[in-house]
């Protein structure tokens, strides 16, 4: 089972693709997509969609997890992130996948067993779980890998429930 995790954003979008093979988790690819700032918002959204298609071509996901963000009152940043997030959700739907939308605390819980874990703890656990030689950089890529891990965990739970019915 393979999960694409996404930390959505218009300027920088983090992605991480994790394969679960028996009890092992393998980070097949991860990184960030940066959209050219000289392009319009509409063109940047299009750029994001095409990059998602390109990144997943060799690693077609079975599961997708897109971080659910909370902005409080910072509405200006929220606008761009949510527009990008809409495009990511559309991308998932077009692959026929119903995306999970975990909150950051749910990801921390799945990765660290603690929904309030700090960034260093979370990144350390992601590195450990994926047996990486170094901490994934930048933060958006690490967050996306965390999303992929929680996505696999949620999908495993859903499958167990489906089987036990």
Figure out which of the listed residues 24, 26, 54, 71 binds a copy of itself, where binding follows CB under 8 A.
Answer: 71
Pick the stretch among 15-23, 25-33, 36-44, 146-154 that binds a copy of itself (CB under 8 A).
36-44
Interface residues for a copy of itself in 46-65 (CB under 8 A)?
46, 49
Return the number of the residue (43 or 137) whose C-beta is nearest a copy of itself.
43
- Given a contact cutoff of 8 angstroms between Cβ atoms, the answer to whether 49 and 61 are in contact is no
Closest approach of a copy of itself to the CB of residue 99, in Å: 5
- Given a contact cutoff of 8 angstroms between Cβ atoms, the answer to whether 100 and 155 are in contact is yes
Closest approach of a copy of itself to the CB of residue 27, in Å: 24
For position 43 contacting a copy of itself by CB under 8 A, the verdict is yes
Closest approach of a copy of itself to the CB of residue 34, in Å: 17
- Binding region for a copy of itself (CB under 8 A): 40-43, 45-46, 49, 71-73, 75, 78-79, 82-87, 89-90, 92-94, 98-99, 101
């Amino acid at each position: 089972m393979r999960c694409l995790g996404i930390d959505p954003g218009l300027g920088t979008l983090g992605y991480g693709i994790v394969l679960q093979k028996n009890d092992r988790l393998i980070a097949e690819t991860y990184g960030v997509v940066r959209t050219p700032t000289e392009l319009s918002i509409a063109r940047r959204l299009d750029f994001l969609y095409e990059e998602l298609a390109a990144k997943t071509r060799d690693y077609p996901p079975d599961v997708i997890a897109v971080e659910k963000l909370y902005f409080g009152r910072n509405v200006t940043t929220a606008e761009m992130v949510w527009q990008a997030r809409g495009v990511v959700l559309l991308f998932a739907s077009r692959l026929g996948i119903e995306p999970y939308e975990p909150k950051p605390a749910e990801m921390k819980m799945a990765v660290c067993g603690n929904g309030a874990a700090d960034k260093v703890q979370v990144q350390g656990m992601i590195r450990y779980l994926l047996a990486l030689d170094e901490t994934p950089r930048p933060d958006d890529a690490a967050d996306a890998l965390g999303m992929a891990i929680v996505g696999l965990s949620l999908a495993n739970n859903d499958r167990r429930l489906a089987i036990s019915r």
